[in-house]
Amino acid sequence: KQEVTQIPAALSVPEGENLVLNCSFTDSAIYNLQWFRQDPGKGLTSLLLIQSSQREQTSGRLNASLDKSSGRSTLYIAASQPGDSATYLCAVHNNDMRFGAGTRLTVKP
């Protein structure tokens, strides 16, 4: 059974810092991995989708990498802003979809 773990569970940084969020999974037979953000009381917003054949994806200040063999993905956020404050979740998709518990990010002005 696929297990997805996210570290750290919470992170607080001053504005402008670069930061890395980590996601690990136990079964490397995945179709894809996605990163989302969740704002309080809201649903998910898709950030980046990495297919199993890809190693990374970039969108603006966000960069996500995927290393299937080691069961890891990282989400890199450059020059963090207070508007980046949210919970970030990763999810891996093979026959079903499994989510990590999320990293709660606070970016202080």
Partner 1 sequence: GAVVSQHPSWVICKSGTSVKIECRSLDFQATTMFWYRQFPKQSLMLMATSNEGSKATYEQGVEKDKFLINHASLTLSTLTVTSAHPEDSSFYICSGLRATNEKLFFGSGTQLSVL
C-alpha torsion sign, points 109, 106, 87, 7? positive
What is the token pair recorded at 59? 């969108």
Query: Looking at 60, 83, 96, 109, which residue binds partner 1 (CB under 8 A)?
Result: 96
Does 40 bind partner 1 (CB under 8 A)? Our answer is yes
Could you give the C-alpha distances from 28 to 42, 71, 93, in angstroms and in order?
Answer: 30, 6, 10
Interacting positions 45-64 with partner 1 (CB under 8 A): 46, 49, 51
CA angle 34, 83, 80 (to 5 degrees): 75
Residue 31: Cβ within 10 Å count = 12
Query: Looking at 41, 60, 83, 109, which residue binds partner 1 (CB under 8 A)?
Result: 41
Judged by CB under 8 A, the stretch of 14-22, 37-45, 66-74, 75-83 that binds partner 1 is 37-45
Which residues bind to partner 1, rule: CB under 8 A? 32, 34, 36, 38, 40-41, 43-44, 46, 49, 51, 89, 91, 93, 95-99, 102
